[in-house]
Amino acid sequence: MFFSKKKEKNKNKDINTNTNKNKESFFSKIKNFFTKKKSIKIEDLDEVESILLSADIGVKTTLKIIRNLEKKIKEQEYSVKNNEKNLYKFLKKEIQNIFINIKNECLEEKIKINSRPYVILIVGVNGVGKTTTVGKLAFFLKNKGYSSVIGAADTFRAAAIDQLEIWAKKAKVHLIKQHINADSASVAYDTLESAKSKKIDVAIIDTAGRLHNRINLMEELSKISRVMKKIIIDAPHEVILVLDATTGQNAIEQVKKFFSVLKITSIILTKVEGTAKAGFILSILEKFKIPIKYVGNGEKIEDFKIFNEKKFINSFFK
């Protein structure tokens, strides 16, 4: 897994087994294909392309990799033995290059140097684990020494408010809420007003799960952002999009739609423990240059880690 810390060895054993099997199905295809070949030729690139696409890396990113590999082959750099090893090396460098120009500042450091409260707006479609993520993030920041308040701006479902209240209690942070069908922007306003008066470090605003193709719901996010500026002129300081790692290429369309309404500053990935196709992440990084801050890997409040770029890249090559 691509976290900042090692996972417990016995935790989610079955899931780890399944994930390893998925990884093997990705690069074992390359290994099996090139083991008996003396050199990598242009005609072999169709197979490499298929393998990359099977990992959900996406057409645009895959074609860029294939073009660069074709150039290498024409330069005769890959007409040697041990092609599998050379190909691994090339693909790893190509993936590393995607991360190079993406600025990924530490969120805790940004909170430290900015004025209080630091306002984080959490957005995402239905079913990605957004509300759970809000609770985990509040707990994570609390353990880093930052006080937090959560705003329950998802007022469309009573269950959403109830669920967030449970997570707020688990994280031992205060929750600002109103009644069902209340104005979401009003909840955000109250949350920031409370955080400012009580000198809270971080205000985390949960929003309703939007369908990215519903224009009216998406526009409400703009309203929430505008209303918050009445309390804190430069709010929100961070807009985090929560993505389900099992979604695959559909996640790219989600990013596109949310980005058209708000400036998404970072991403949190959920449900990473069961996915075989994390390659879509590369497409998002390549296209939008948005950093991944954290990953969620379970149901417990502690199952929340800093995204580790190096481990993520290495996970493709195991």
User: What separation, in Å, do the N-terminal and C-terminal C-alpha atoms of the chain show?
Assistant: 11
Q: Print the SS3 string covering 33-67.
A: HHCCCCCCCHHHHHHHHHHHHHCCCCHHHHHHHHH
pLDDT value of position 5: 47
pLDDT value of position 118: 97
pLDDT value of position 2: 57
Cα–Cα distance, 206 to 124 (Å, whole number): 10
Q: Which residues pair with 239 in a beta bridge?
A: 121
pLDDT value of position 23: 45
Instruction: Please give the chain's pLDDT, 318 residues, in tens.
Output: 555 544 444 443 332 333 344 444 555 676 677 666 666 778 878 888 888 887 778 788 889 889 988 887 777 655 545 566 777 788 888 888 888 878 888 899 999 888 889 999 999 988 898 999 999 999 999 999 999 999 999 888 778 899 999 999 999 999 999 988 889 999 999 999 999 999 999 999 999 876 645 666 677 888 999 999 999 999 999 999 999 988 877 888 899 888 888 899 999 999 876 545 567 888 889 889 999 999 988 889 999 999 988 888 877 766
Query: Which class for 135: exposed (0-12), middle (13-18), buried (19 or more C-beta within 10 A)?
Result: buried
Q: Is 251 helix (H, G, I), strand (E, B) or coil?
A: helix
**In contact, 279 and 271? CB cutoff 8 Å:** no
Cα angle 157-146-270, degrees, rounded to a multiple of 5: 45
Spatial strand order of the sheet with 118-123 comes to 174-176, 148-153, 202-207, 118-123, 238-244, 266-270, 292-296, 304-306
pLDDT value of position 166: 96
Q: Where are the alpha helices (DSSP H) in the chain?
A: 13-34, 45-54, 59-74, 83-100, 107-113, 130-143, 158-171, 184-197, 215-228, 250-261, 280-288, 309-315
Q: Which residues pair with 118 in a beta bridge?
A: 202
Neighbours of 75 (CB within 10 A): 9
276-304 tens-digit pLDDT: 556 788 888 988 999 999 998 888 999 99
Cα–Cα distance, 195 to 117 (Å, whole number): 6
**What is the per-residue DSSP string for 164-214?**
HHHHHHHHT-EEE---TT--HHHHHHHHHHHHHHTT-SEEEEEE----TT-
pLDDT value of position 201: 96
8-48 tens-digit pLDDT: 444 433 323 333 444 445 556 766 776 666 667 788 788 88
Cα–Cα distance, 71 to 37 (Å, whole number): 19
For helices 59-74 and 280-288, angle between their N-to-C axes, nearest 10 degrees: 90
Cα–Cα distance, 11 to 59 (Å, whole number): 35
Cα–Cα distance, 183 to 298 (Å, whole number): 32
Total count of residues recorded for the chain:
318
Listed residue (166, 132, 105) closest to 303, CA to CA: 132
pLDDT value of position 305: 93
Inter-CA distances, 28 with 102, 241, 275, 301, Å: 29, 33, 17, 35
pLDDT value of position 281: 86
Query: Which class for 122: exposed (0-12), middle (13-18), buried (19 or more C-beta within 10 A)?
Result: buried
Task: State the pTM of this model.
Answer: 0.84
Listed residue (284, 253, 257) closest to 269, CA to CA: 284
